[in-house]
Structure 1
Amino acid sequence: TVSSIAAVGFALSGMCIAHANGFLKQSDAQSRVLKTLDFLARRMPQEHGFFYHFVDMHTAERAFKSEISSIDTALLLLGVLHARAYFDSKPVRQLATEIYERVDWKWMLNGGATLDHGFKPETGFLKSRWDSYSELKGMYLLAIGSPTHPIPASSWEAWTRPIYEYGDLRYISAPAPLFIHQSAHAWIDFRRKRDSHADYFENSRIATLVHKRFCISLQDKYPWYSDELWGITASDSERGYVVWGGPPPMGPIDGSIVPCATGGSLVFLPDDCKLVLKTILNRYPKAWTRYGFVDAFNPKTGWYDPEILGIDQGIMLLMAENLRNEGVWRVFMRNEEIVRAMKAVGFKEASL
């Protein structure tokens, strides 16, 4: 069975949420976390502390000839640090700290000012860099806040922040799916804070609103797109995995609905997103499974994705917990490394 290391980061946070809400006893949740951390620390192949994007969950071997991934390692680490902050346990603290502190972020700079996308032992560093706005914020704060292998705070200024406009709305974005505005916010509390460029929480709120309006603008082609049913982001489709979204249109879009587009945006537009999720539950009961919402479905063709994607379930779980009681934010922000990094790059309280 192949596992995404990013999904494991969400799963570690899931153990914290499960215990906090009475679904697991502390001993059970902590045992699962400890076994996972020990596997990561002792058995998983790694390069300068970074992990392969996909691995066999039983043998720890690299899968699909995947890359050593900087962003997916970062998403894993966010879950690792959440678990460290949540469980008052010396073994959890020691293993989580070991996993985080052995990551050599300076190596991943590969001689530049921005982090590389990754590395393959056969060919070396990948050609792409994390040099423009995307899901990168959490990764850069982990790297800048590292007590052992930090990169300079100036790297925060090295990535660009393109300005997009949609009607009367103006925001920082990229030609990429909606999830780029979600993932870092699942753990890091950016509310009422801003650096010299933006209030990133407010920026994600605007980006979500833009995406809603964009979907509804397609109503002539897909009549089911409405205030009650909208939202697409990278997901499975009838044709396989598709990186779709908009604006600008990416896909090609076929009228599918991806529940984690709104489920992962609950904290940005709570009423709007809850309405969509309730609509899916009421009108499309097949879209709900033992593990939550399907990854995607098409209201016209009646197709429902038979597979479950951990990263998409994960973002919905964490955002729901943050909306309910700020549970992930409140615990995760105890990590001094992240708080220190935010100060280093110039975050201040945003004026109302």
Structure 2
Amino acid sequence: MAKNNKFSKEQYLSWYESMLLMRKFEEKLSQLYIQRKFGGFLHLYIGQEAVVAGAVSATTIDDKMITAYRCHAHPLGRGTDPKYMMAELYGKTTGLSKGKGGSMHMFDVSKNVFGGHGIVGGQIPLGTGLAFADKYKGNNFVTMCSMGDGAVRQGALHEAFNMAMTWKIPVIYIIENNQYAMGTSVERTSNVTDLYKLGLSYDMPGEPVDAMNVEDVHNAIAKAAKHCREGKGPYLLEMITYRFKGHSMSDPRKYRTKEEEAKYQSEDPIEKVLATIKKNKYATDKQIDAIGAKIKKQIEDAIKFAEDSPLPEPEAMYEDIYAEPNYPFIKD
């Protein structure tokens, strides 16, 4: 684990508020889903918040993020207003994608968050393409392409890895290894259980990271980003983490033991950051309570905004299907 004194008081308070917002937002989503306030699927990130918080603190707003369908934390970590996310979940026109994407397709291009993708592994070649575009344009940006441990069994990963190494594309591949692809453990899907080793046949550097510690995540992402910005090509990080909830809301988690769940919950990344804050007297109990109250109001305001927003008209289903042509090099 990283030494606590390397990071500032402001950084710890920022991590705490960011991760707590992710946690409380999703806990509320769980309640709203049961109340049938919105439909579709709902995949919660609870337990994995340090992966996003550490990635955000170690990079810039110009760096891109793309992920799979467990995608509520990524825009929140980048600063997206929760009310637009809530409206998207409710299927309202004021949502991030006008209510057409829902829980699994959270985009906020203004924050360089490019989804949210429901197709397992579909974001891997897309993230590689985003990074290639920056390399082609001469931008010194990186793309963080996240995926679950189940998605690494897709063939597109190997095609993307080969291309990224051949062309030295500035992409950080982040495997969020929460131990289970839906209900199937990593051990039951492959002989290779150290997933960072999947890059070895392409000579892609990589390493495992204790992703229950936000400090370790930050340090690993910072190292990988430096590697990419120096023109050395991609980097692979296996974030070893755990989802405290099921794969989705319909998952009773019978494939896991209570002892296993309790072990990981004792390593809650939010509680670790809070313990550091209290130990170093970075905030009083009153100030900590104020952060919680602020987040509670943010979520309440988001729900009201979503419930008060209009549903799309039926004809809206025919809109936003194709991009408007924009060819500035063609003269009338």
How high is the TM-score relative to the length of structure 2?
0.29
How high is the TM-score relative to the length of structure 1?
0.28
Which structure's relative contact order is higher, taking Cα pairs within 8 Å and 6+ residues apart?
2
